[in-house]
Amino acid sequence: MTRLLASTLLFAAAVATDPIATGTWTITGDVQGYPVTESCVLTQTDATLAGTCTDSGKVARAATGTVADKTITIVHPSEYNGDPLTLTFKGTLDDSGTLKGTIDVYPLEYQGTFSAAKTAAKP
């Protein structure tokens, strides 16, 4: 009985820390008529994300974020016409593996929407 309990607790701990956000994500979205297309390579350690997001102009930027249950938040700097911005993607992972949510553009206070899916690993 003790082994069964120990095995169950170890399995539960493994499931609780499953790195659901680790991988390469393709993000598509829209912010007030402006298309957003990015590829983010992320690594999840516990509830923390780190990685790089590359925009459609091939500019790569360091990204950070968090994971709480099925809510994933990705944050990285950006710029528009030379002005610095911060993009925050916050979404919920559905059962099909698609991340959908909102984009916040700071300091402009613009909002948008996005969806993201993991890119299949190349053999």
| 8 Å CB contact between 92 and 76 | no
Say if residues 49 and 41 touch (Cβ distance below 8 Å).
no
pLDDT for the residue numbered 120: 75
Tell me, what's the pLDDT at 122? 57
- In this predicted structure, what is the pLDDT of residue 46? 96
- Look at the domain 19-118 and name its fold: Lipocalin (2.40.128)
Bond preceding residue 107 cis, omega within 30 of 0:
yes
Residues 6+ apart with CB under 8 A from 58: none
pLDDT band for position 31 (cuts 50, 70, 90): very high
Token match 């659901």: residue?
20
pLDDT in tens, 2-25: 454 444 444 444 444 578 999 999
What average pLDDT score do residues 25-39 get?
97
Separation of alpha carbons 51 and 57, rounded Å: 18
Residue 90, number of CB atoms within 10 A of its CB: 17
Average pLDDT score, the chain: 88
Residue 18: the pLDDT is: 74
The answer to whether the CB of 50 falls within 8 A of the CB of 41 is no
pLDDT tens digit sequence for 83-119: 999 999 999 999 999 999 999 999 999 999 999 999 9
The percent of residues above 90 in pLDDT, for the chain, comes to: 77
Q: 15-49: b or e for each residue (b if 16 or more CB lie within 10 Å)?
A: eeeeeebbbebebebebeeeebebbbbbebeeeeb
